[in-house]
Amino acid sequence: MKFCESVFIISVFIQLVSTELSSYNFPENFVFGVATAAYQIEGAFNEDGKTDSIWDYNLHKKPDWVIDQGNGDVACDSYHKWEEDIQLIANLGVDFYRFSIAWTRIFPSGYAGSKINDAGVIYYNKLIDGLLAKGITPMVTIYHWDLPQNLQRNGGWMNETIVDNYVFYARTLFELYGDRVKHWITFNEPFQICESGYSETDLAPFLNDSGVGGYICAHNLLISHGRAYREYERTFKQNQGGKVAITAHSFWFEPQGESDSDRAAAERAMQFWYGWFMHPVIKGNYPPIMIERIDEISQKEGFQKSRLPKFTEGQIEMIRGSFDFIGVNHYTTALASISNNFNEPSFYFDGGVNRTEDSNWVKSSTSTWLNKVPWGLRKLLNWIKQEYNNPPVLITENGWSSSTGLEDSRRVSYLNEYLSELLKAIHEDECNVIGYTHWSLLDNFEWLKGYTARFGLVEVDFNNPDRTRTPRKSYGVYQKIISSRKIN
Ligand code: GBH
């Protein structure tokens, strides 16, 4: 056998045993980032005038909500260690840093027009200026789940007076920081805020108002988003020239089998999970399938009116088109089939989708919902392209959950393989993806999983009062992808 023949055979063999990664380059204007959220990293929960959010309040009252009884009191202590964070972000080589602002640092009472807390304002000024000094673009999430507890006292997102309070808060951020911040995300993951928080007990405020609370919350949230977007458009856009978006989480739902009913279930799941928010923002109003089903099921259940609230014509117009790009947080794929086996009333009965997974998928050991299914990202991006007419999409989160340890080879293969599918979506399918954000810079407070599920490119030692940070193997891999603009 000639030398080149044996090289060929060996390389074919290597391709068979390892997943073949795309050799495309990331387009010139494609941007890379890394993300965190205030409650998950900042700590300093009661410092410098900050009051309790619904997370502080609930976890202090009942620590058992969280698997290891952890909370965000100290977290990564980023309120004090922000300079070190900025250095880690700069060394990583990303274009932007996506972080969130804690509402209770800016307005301790939460109310529109209430007294601004200067110390809170100063903290984010230092962070933003520090990032810009190192050439990193700040991207601000206005709301990442930490509602002022003071506003929860009168119902939080279920009370429509929240809209004025939120819009005032958002507007204040535009005023304070908009000269330097040009990328705004109004909300991170409405599904989790509303369904998980108000209709279930997966996230604060743990209200468990099944089939009702989540829909009311989402309604007020979408109106808040629309009004904040229009406020920016009217008052700030011309001078500041920034962009405003909303970010929703989406699984890719793959039909479990070949049947028409499985296919319909998968499409319905996309509409119920992601379309619930993106359909109003992009096309105006909720997805027709949601309106139809919830109206009909509510009636059968004896409700006087649909559990899905109705927008007025004016609200539909206001919300339609309220985006400059769309954000998607994507981690994993699920299989969908038809099912009516749910309690009533509930989002799940309304959707009628049974969610399962394939036992062959590589599973995260610390986040049971998370499987490595890279092709799901490509299918999701193609679905968005078709459904919404190829809008600019920013992947605002994607990442893998491990336990402690610096040799995070599973995170490395997750990253390589998801980015590989992303490159195919861009180059072969012409999906309009403008950037990618890895969740997360640091190990942090992973909600009800506490500190047991680690998402960081950088490991944090939560037993050390200094919260020592150590880059993992994946940090170096992402760094190299960014500098070479391809997967290596
Ligand atoms: C994001 O949520 C959050 O934005 C971020 O704060 C968080 O730290 C990060 O991801 C990692 O979790 O139906 O019982 O199987 C991800 C949202 C959470 C959605 C888990 C799917 C599955 C719960 N995902 N959820 S279950």
Distance between CA atoms of residues 70 and 63, nearest Å = 7
Single-letter amino acid, residue 414: Y
- The tens place of each residue's pLDDT in the chain, 488 residues long, gives 455 555 555 544 444 445 799 999 999 999 999 999 999 999 999 999 999 999 999 999 999 999 999 999 999 999 999 999 999 999 999 999 999 999 999 999 999 999 999 999 999 999 999 999 999 999 999 999 999 999 999 999 999 999 999 999 999 999 999 999 999 999 999 999 999 999 999 999 999 999 999 999 999 999 999 999 999 999 999 999 999 999 999 999 999 999 999 999 999 999 999 999 999 999 999 999 999 999 999 999 999 999 999 999 999 999 999 999 999 999 999 999 999 999 999 999 999 999 999 999 999 999 999 999 999 999 999 999 999 999 999 999 999 999 999 999 999 999 999 999 999 999 999 999 999 999 999 999 999 999 999 999 999 999 999 999 999 999 999 999 999 999 99
Half-sphere exposure of residue 48: CA atoms within 13 angstroms, side-chain side: 18
Q: Write the DSSP string, 307-340.
A: SS----HHHHHHHTT--SSEEEE---EEEEEE--
Nearest to 470 by CA among 478, 462, 460, 480: 460
For residue 70, report the distance from its CA to the centre of ligand 1, in Å.
17
Whether residue 348 has its Cβ less than 6 Å from ligand 1: no
Whether the Cβ atoms of residue 372 and residue 414 lie closer than 8 Å to each other:
yes
309: Cβ contacts below 8 Å, ≥ 6 apart = 215, 216, 219
For residue 354, report the distance from its CA to the centre of ligand 1, in Å.
18
260: Cβ contacts below 8 Å, ≥ 6 apart = none
Distance between CA atoms of residues 484 and 320, nearest Å = 39
Range of the domain at 344: 3-484
Distance between CA atoms of residues 205 and 47, nearest Å = 22
Mark whether 397 is an active-site residue. Answer: yes
Query: Exactly one of 189, 254, 446, 459 is catalytic; which is it?
Result: 189
Q: How many domains does the chain have?
A: 1
Distance between CA atoms of residues 373 and 330, nearest Å = 11
Q: What single-letter DSSP state applies at residue 257?
A: S
253: enclosing H helix or E strand:
strand 252-255
Distance between CA atoms of residues 235 and 82, nearest Å = 31
Query: Exactly one of 387, 397, 417, 421 is catalytic; which is it?
Result: 397
The DSSP bridge pattern shows strands 333-338 and 353-356 to be antiparallel
For residue 447, report the distance from its CA to the centre of ligand 1, in Å.
9
For residue 446, report the distance from its CA to the centre of ligand 1, in Å.
9
Whether residue 398 has its Cβ less than 6 Å from ligand 1: no
Helices (H) and strands (E) in the chain, counts: 19, 15
How much of the chain is helix, strand and coil, in % rounded to 5? 45, 15, 40
pLDDT for the residue numbered 13: 47
Whether the Cβ atoms of residue 199 and residue 210 lie closer than 8 Å to each other:
yes
Whether residue 349 has its Cβ less than 6 Å from ligand 1: no
83, two tokens: 């300079």
For residue 250, report the distance from its CA to the centre of ligand 1, in Å.
10
Angle between helices 162-177 and 118-133 (to 10 degrees): 50
Residue where the block lists tokens 């952890």: 70
Return the CA Rg of the chain.
22
CATH number of the domain to which 226 belongs: 3.20.20.80
Whether residue 369 has its Cβ less than 6 Å from ligand 1: yes
pLDDT for the residue numbered 5: 53
pLDDT for the residue numbered 18: 57
Query: Hey, what long-range contacts does 11-20 have (CB within 8 A, 24 or more apart)?
Result: 19/374, 19/413, 19/417, 19/420
Whether residue 443 has its Cβ less than 6 Å from ligand 1: no
Residue nearest to atom 14 of ligand 1 (CA): 369
Distance between CA atoms of residues 162 and 184, nearest Å = 19
Pocket test for ligand 1, best of 447, 451, 454 (most atoms within 8 A of CB): 447
Residue nearest to atom 20 of ligand 1 (CA): 369
Whether residue 37 has its Cβ less than 6 Å from ligand 1: yes
